[in-house]
Amino acid sequence: MRVILTLLLCSWASVVAAEEVVIGLDKSSVSITTNFAGDNIFIFGAVKRDAPSPEAPLDVIITVAGPSKPVVVRKKDRRFGIWVNTEAVTVDAAPTFYAVATSAPLNDILLKTEDLRHKVSIPRAIRLVGESDQATDVERFSDAVIRIREDQGAYKLNEGGVDFRDETLFRTTVDLPANLTEGAYETRVFLVREGAVVTSFRSAIEVRKVGLERWLFSMSRQQPLMYGIMSLAIAIFAGWGAAALFRLFRLG
Amino acid sequence: MGLTEPMQIYLPIAEVSVNAFLLLGLGGLVGVLSGMFGVGGGFLMTPLLFFIGIPPAVAVATEANQIVASSFSGVLAHLRRKSVDLRMGTVLLIGGLIGAALGVVVFNYLKSLGQVDLLVRLCYVVFLGVVGGLMFLESLRAIRKSKAGVAAPKRKQRGWVDALPFKMRFRTSGLYISVIPPVTIGICVGILAAIMGVGGGFIMVPAMIYILHMPTKVVVGTSLFQIIFVTGFTTLLHATTNFTVDIVLAVLLLIGGVIGAQIGTRIGARMKAEQLRILLALMVLAVCAKLGLDLLLMPSELYEIGAAGGH
């Protein structure tokens, strides 16, 4: 395994407790190639202390968030006997991917107020976006985003997914699905004690289409006419080629 | 590094990862059917692409591109046999291009309203239902007649089509008719091509036979000729306005489709015409029923996430 050790030191030292977090990621970028079928990121690190640790136990929360994009959530209703989209709510930005891994059940280790401040849990990560006033109760629409994306494996909460040893070493693996959106994936690590965030650290992993994927995608956006003509040319050539090939077989 | 499997293909425009053999297989299956029945197969492929999770907008645009390929090999064969009425094809094409442009405008407008899925599905249910139903009844009647041993009465209809102005002579088809009906048929098929991602052969062929009274031997070649240009134009419109043509998806479907079509042609040659038609009718009705039930039954998930307009 090719492991790029990107050891990063937290610059922001906590004033309350002299504890810092040092983390490493096994890669700094994820490449979407033609045969991309998902990937995983291995996140590990350690707690650095100047003084002995306080009595209360320490816990770790790790989040990975994909790029946020505006989405429209539509609700179906029965009209004239068939199900059609009726109400719609625009969510200014919802992460395309969001994973939370913790060393203990999230509700036990993080206070609601801290969650609200740092936007850690899945519902908070969604609601950090500007809410629309078009529909009667926006709550159900943001719940729907979470439900659908959880079903797709794009949002996941992995309680107990962080292996935390001797209040010092921690590690976890975050699985990235195959249907990944390009962009910067922000990784955050929080150290929490008695429900409050002691210190945190953030880093980013770049997810990019490469090679043929990159080339085709850029071309389709930057030179759509050329791309369209190329698609047609390939189609016509393939159609002609197939006909010619099979005539050859029949004659031969 | 990574969990790369050789069978998975990441589609750059659809942004989903699909099994390559599944796509080749789908292409092959639809190819066999289109070879057997002499239809483009777009009306089956597009719904199948919905079922495997390709975004509808990408499925429709990519299928238009794939139809260009499958029709091109067909039209070459017909040109060699001189069974293409180029003049009629051009008239139909003028209507088709107007229709395709209208269709893409309607498509994009409904996309902004979030109703494009509904429109595409409704179009499918209505057209597949009507065409499948008519074809089913007609082949039943034909089978009953061939059993009774009565030859179908030959009739020459002189209807409203002959009363229209702007007449034109179509030598290959041996017709002297107004250009209004072919242009209108062209427009309708063009709209369908853009909205449904189909060539429209399954609408155009019956229309040419029953409304224009064209000789059967030039019908398929002429409709293929027109379809290439209309779907080609549709592909360009979708590529430039929606960025939804996925070339990787198109190529995979194409490879399967081309091989399948050759197998299908051989199977088709061994079967009776009425049997073929009744099978095709049943298949069309089955796809129609599946799509219709999806609209009628309460969906398990009432909410749906879409990209915000104008990204």
Distance of CA B16 to the CA centre of its chain: 25
pTM exceeds 0.90: no
Residue A38 in domain = yes
Give the pLDDT confidence score for residue B82 in this predicted structure.
80
Chain-wide mean pLDDT for chain A? 79
- Contact across the interface for A90 and B296, Cβ inside 8 Å: no
Those residues with Cβ within 8 angstroms of residue B143's Cβ, 6 or more apart along the chain or in another chain: B274, B278
**Average pLDDT rounded to a whole number, residues A139-150:** 81
Those residues with Cβ within 8 angstroms of residue A214's Cβ, 6 or more apart along the chain or in another chain: A208
Give me the percent of chain B exceeding a pLDDT of 90: 1
- CB nearest to B72's CB, from A30, A90, A239: A239
| Residue whose tokens read 């050539």 | A237
**Average pLDDT rounded to a whole number, residues B247-252:** 88
Model confidence at A176: pLDDT above 60: yes
Beta-strand relationship, A68-79 and A82-95: antiparallel
Model confidence at A129: pLDDT above 70: no
In the 8-state DSSP scheme, what is residue A18? -
- Contact across the interface for B250 and A235, Cβ inside 8 Å: yes
Chain-wide mean pLDDT for chain B? 79
Residue A138 in domain = yes
Those residues with Cβ within 8 angstroms of residue A57's Cβ, 6 or more apart along the chain or in another chain: A167, A193
Q: For residue B5, which residues of chain A lie inside 8 Å, CB to CB?
A: 35, 37
Asked whether residue A15 falls in the same domain as residue A113, the answer is yes
Residue A115 in domain = yes
Interface A–B counts its CB contacts (< 8 A) at 196
CA dist A199 and B23 (Å) reads 49
Give the pLDDT confidence score for residue B152 in this predicted structure.
47
Model confidence at B115: pLDDT above 70: yes
Residue A164 in domain = yes
CA dist B93 and B229 (Å) reads 7
Domain count, chain A: 2
pLDDT in tens, B175-202: 777 788 888 888 988 888 778 777 777 7
- Residue A119's pLDDT band (boundaries 50, 70, 90)? confident
**Average pLDDT rounded to a whole number, residues B38-55:** 79
More confident residue, B268 or B309: B268
Give the three-class secondary structure for A99: strand
First and final C-alpha spacing in chain A: 51
Asked whether residue A118 falls in the same domain as residue A134, the answer is yes
Q: Which of B139, B234, B149, B132 is nearest to B190 (CA)?
A: B234
- CB nearest to A228's CB, from B5, B70, B240: B240
More confident residue, B70 or B153: B70
Mean pLDDT check: name the lowest of A111-125, A130-144, B71-85, B282-296. Answer: A130-144
CA dist B183 and B170 (Å) reads 14
The count of residues in chain A is 252
DSSP A152-170: HTSEEEEET-SEEETTTEE
Give the three-class secondary structure for A81: coil
Give the pLDDT confidence score for residue B1 in this predicted structure.
41
B-chain residue closest to A225, CA distance? B240
Residue A37 in domain = yes
Asked whether residue A147 falls in the same domain as residue A53, the answer is yes
**Average pLDDT rounded to a whole number, residues B112-119:** 75
Contact B54, B14 (CB under 8 A): yes
**Average pLDDT rounded to a whole number, residues B123-141:** 84
Alpha carbon separation from B283 to B64, B118, B142, B254, B290 (Å, rounded) = 21, 22, 18, 21, 11
**Average pLDDT rounded to a whole number, residues B10-38:** 83
Contact A89, A145 (CB under 8 A): no
Asked whether residue A88 falls in the same domain as residue A183, the answer is yes
Query: Which tokens sit at A124?
Result: 């908070």
Asked whether residue A128 falls in the same domain as residue A232, the answer is no
- Residue B119's pLDDT band (boundaries 50, 70, 90)? confident
CA dist A57 and A47 (Å) reads 13
Asked whether residue A182 falls in the same domain as residue A228, the answer is no
CA distance B191 to chain A (A): 19
- CB nearest to B16's CB, from A76, A179, A230: A179
Asked whether residue A192 falls in the same domain as residue A221, the answer is no
Domain containing residue A221: 215-251
More confident residue, B236 or B163: B236
Asked whether residue A158 falls in the same domain as residue A46, the answer is yes
Residue A56 in domain = yes
Give the three-class secondary structure for A236: helix
Distance of CA B88 to the CA centre of its chain: 19
Give the three-class secondary structure for A150: helix
Contact B249, A230 (CB under 8 A): no
- Residue A11's pLDDT band (boundaries 50, 70, 90)? very low
**Average pLDDT rounded to a whole number, residues B248-262:** 83
Asked whether residue A199 falls in the same domain as residue A239, the answer is no
- Contact across the interface for A36 and B243, Cβ inside 8 Å: no
Give the pLDDT confidence score for residue B98 in this predicted structure.
92
Mean pLDDT check: name the lowest of A40-49, A143-152, A165-174. Answer: A143-152
- Contact across the interface for B245 and A228, Cβ inside 8 Å: yes
Instruction: State the CATH number of the domain containing residue A109.
Output: 2.60.40.3880
Which strands form B303-307's sheet, in the order they lie side by side?
A82-95, A68-79, B303-307
Give the pLDDT confidence score for residue B159 in this predicted structure.
61
Give the pLDDT confidence score for residue A15 in this predicted structure.
45
Is the reported ipTM for this assembly greater than 0.95? no
Asked whether residue A55 falls in the same domain as residue A145, the answer is yes
- Contact across the interface for A231 and B239, Cβ inside 8 Å: yes
Mean pLDDT check: name the lowest of A36-45, A96-105, B242-251, B262-271. Answer: B262-271
A-chain residue closest to B305, CA distance? A73
CA dist A119 and A124 (Å) reads 5
- Contact across the interface for B305 and A72, Cβ inside 8 Å: yes
pLDDT in tens, A72-115: 787 777 877 777 777 777 777 788 889 899 888 888 888 888 88
**Average pLDDT rounded to a whole number, residues B88-114:** 85
| Residue whose tokens read 């640790």 | A53
Asked whether residue A156 falls in the same domain as residue A246, the answer is no
CA distance B94 to chain A (A): 20
Query: Which tokens sit at A230?
Result: 């190329």
**Average pLDDT rounded to a whole number, residues B139-150:** 74
- Residue A13's pLDDT band (boundaries 50, 70, 90)? very low
Alpha carbon separation from B311 to A144, A207, A225, B80 (Å, rounded) = 22, 20, 19, 47
Give the pLDDT confidence score for residue B307 in this predicted structure.
63
- Contact across the interface for B8 and A40, Cβ inside 8 Å: no
CA dist B3 and B5 (Å) reads 6
Residue A3 in domain = no
- Residue B4's pLDDT band (boundaries 50, 70, 90)? very low
Give the pLDDT confidence score for residue A5 in this predicted structure.
44
Q: For residue A181, which residues of chain B lie inside 8 Å, CB to CB?
A: 15
DSSP A32-79: E-TT---EEEEEEEEEEESSPPPSSPEEEEEEEE--EEEEEEEEEEEE
CA dist B290 and B129 (Å) reads 11
DSSP chain B: -----TTEEEETTTTEEEEHHHHHHHHHHHHHHHHHHTS--HHHHHHHHHHTT--HHHHHHHHHHHHHHHHHHHHHHHHHTT---HHHHHHHHHHHHHHHHHHHHHHHHHHHHT-HHHHHHHHHHHHHHHHHHHHHHHHHHHHHHHHHTPPPPP-----GGGG-SSEEEETTTTEEEESHHHHHHHHHHHHHHHHH----HHHHHHHHHHTS---HHHHHHHHHHHHHHHHHHHHHHHHHHT----HHHHHHHHHHHHHHHHHHHHHHHTS-HHHHHHHHHHHHHHHHHHHHHHHHSPPS--EEEEEPS--
More confident residue, A246 or B186: B186
Model confidence at B169: pLDDT above 50: yes
Give the pLDDT confidence score for residue A252 in this predicted structure.
52
Model confidence at B204: pLDDT above 60: yes
Mean pLDDT check: name the lowest of A9-18, A132-141, B255-264. Answer: A9-18
Asked whether residue A188 falls in the same domain as residue A203, the answer is yes
Query: Which tokens sit at A40?
Result: 């995983």
Query: Which tokens sit at B140?
Result: 């039943």
Model confidence at A158: pLDDT above 80: yes
**Average pLDDT rounded to a whole number, residues B56-76:** 82
More confident residue, B307 or B228: B228
Q: For residue A33, which residues of chain B lie inside 8 Å, CB to CB?
A: 4, 10
Model confidence at A210: pLDDT above 60: yes
CA dist B310 and B19 (Å) reads 30
Residue type, B77: A
Residues B232, B221, B231: CA angle, nearest 5 degrees? 15
Model confidence at A52: pLDDT above 50: yes
- Contact across the interface for A69 and B255, Cβ inside 8 Å: no
Contact A134, A88 (CB under 8 A): yes
Query: Which tokens sit at A139?
Result: 């709550």
Residue A2 in domain = no
